[in-house]
């Protein structure tokens, strides 16, 4: 399965790509939300999960999330928000907008791996507000 990762920090993106690879999935990388949307338009039928940073230049993760969840071509793709914005209101806002789950940075690779497995296993219609 392909997992789209939108993260402006190259270091954090690499860490997420490593976790995705260890889980046996292919990572597609975008350094901002606009790039993520471009990749999504081209490959949406091959993408099984989107991992979004909230704070990115050009287009932030929340804007990407709302575009994804309001477009019938992408709406069923689960979205995991991975961000340093651990404010409770932001978590609620993301879940209400359609995020499947949320993880707060910094996180350990094991925590991200667990979160990805949870989202892929059963949250294709269920949503969880767990922050870790």
Domain range annotation of the chain: 2-122
pTM as predicted: 0.90
65-85 pLDDT, tens digit each: 999 999 999 999 999 998 786
- What CA–CA distance (Å, rounded) separates 128 from 130? 6
Question: What does residue 110 show for φ and ψ, rounded to 5 degrees?
Answer: -65, -40
Provide the CATH topology of domain 2-122. Answer: Rossmann fold (3.40.50)
Quick one: what percent of the chain has pLDDT higher than 70?
91
ω into residue 72 within 30 of 0, thus cis?
Answer: no
Angle at 75 between CA 58 and CA 122, to 5 degrees: 115
- What CA–CA distance (Å, rounded) separates 104 from 90? 11
* Alpha-carbon 41 to chain mean position: 16
Predicted pLDDT at 88 = 82
Which residues have CB under 8 Å from 80's CB, separation 6+?
49, 50, 51, 52, 99, 100, 101, 102, 103, 115, 116, 119
User: pLDDT at residue 95 above 80?
Assistant: yes
14-27 pLDDT, tens digit each: 999 999 999 999 99
> What single-letter DSSP state applies at residue 74?
T
């Amino acid at each position: 399965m392909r997992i789209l990762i939108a993260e402006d920090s190259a270091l954090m993106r690499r860490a997420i790509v490593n976790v995705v690879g260890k889980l046996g999935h292919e990572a597609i990388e975008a350094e901002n939300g606009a790039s993520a949307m471009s990749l999504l338009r081209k490959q949406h039928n091959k993408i099984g999960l989107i991992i979004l940073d909230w704070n990115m230049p050009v287009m932030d993760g929340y804007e990407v999330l709302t575009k994804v969840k309001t477009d019938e071509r992408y709406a069923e793709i689960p979205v995991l928000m991975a961000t340093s914005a651990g404010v409770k209101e932001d978590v609620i806002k993301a879940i209400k907008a359609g995020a499947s789950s949320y993880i707060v940075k910094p996180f350990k690779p094991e925590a991200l791996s667990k979160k990805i497995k949870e989202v892929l296993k059963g949250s294709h219609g269920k949503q969880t507000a767990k922050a870790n």
